[in-house]
Copies of this chain bind each other. A is one copy, B any other.
Amino acid sequence: MRDFTFAIVGALGNVGTEMRGTLEKSKLPIGNLVMMDVAENVGQVVKWRDREISVVEAAADAFAGVDIALFSAGEGAALELVPEAVKHGCVCVDNSTAFRGSDVDPLVVPEVNAEALTNHRGIIANPNCSTIQMLVVLKPIHEKYTIKRVVVSTYQAVSGSGQAAVDELHAQTRAFAEGRELEVNVYPHQIAFNALPHIDSFVANGYTKEEMKMIDETHKILDPAIGITTTTVRMPVVNGHSESMNIETEKPFEIDEVRELLAGSRGIIIEDDPGNNVYPLAINAAGQDPVYVGRLRRDESIGNGMNMWCVADNLLKGAALNTVQIAAELIERDLVRVPGDV
Interface residues of A (CB under 8 A from B): 149-151, 153, 155, 170, 173-174, 176-178, 188-190, 193-198, 202, 205-208, 227-229, 231, 233, 235-238, 242, 244, 246, 255, 274-275, 277, 279-283, 294-302, 305, 307, 309
Contact = CB atoms under 8 A, between A and B. Distances in A.
10 contacts: A151-B151, A155-B233, A189-B281, A194-B237, A197-B242, A197-B295, A202-B275, A229-B307, A231-B246, A236-B236
Contacts of A275: 202
Contact of A177 (B178, B274, B279): B178
A237 B300 contact: no
A206 B189 CA distance: 35
A188 B301 contact: no
A236 B198 CA distance: 17
Contacts of A238: 193
A197 B301 contact: no
Most buried by B among A173, A195, A198: A195
Given A198-B279, A229-B246, A229-B299, 14 more contacts: A149-B301, A151-B151, A151-B246, A151-B299, A155-B155, A193-B236, A193-B283, A194-B282, A195-B281, A197-B242, A206-B274, A207-B297, A208-B274, A246-B246
Given A173-B173, A176-B173, A229-B305, A198 B274 contact: yes
Most buried by B among A205, A229, A305: A229
Nearest to A155: B195
**What secondary structure prevails in chain A residues at the interface with B?**
mixed
Number of copies: 2
A113 to B, nearest CB: 21
Most buried by B among A149, A242, A275, A295: A295
A231 B309 contact: yes
Q: Can you list the 3 inter-chain pairs with the closest CB atoms, starting with the nearest? A: A227-B301, A206-B297, A153-B153
A205 B227 CA distance: 26
A247 to B, nearest CB: 10
A224 to B, nearest CB: 12
A192 B15 CA distance: 24
Most buried by B among A206, A228, A236: A206
A236 B202 CA distance: 25
A205 B242 CA distance: 22
A244 B151 CA distance: 10
A255 B205 CA distance: 10
A160 to B, nearest CB: 14
Contacts of A202: 274-275
A256 to B, nearest CB: 11
Contacts of A173: 173, 176-177
A301 to B, nearest CB: 3
A193 B191 CA distance: 11
Contact of A244 (B189, B190, B207, B233): B233
B195 A242 contact: yes
A314 B227 CA distance: 33
Contacts of A151: 151, 246, 299, 301
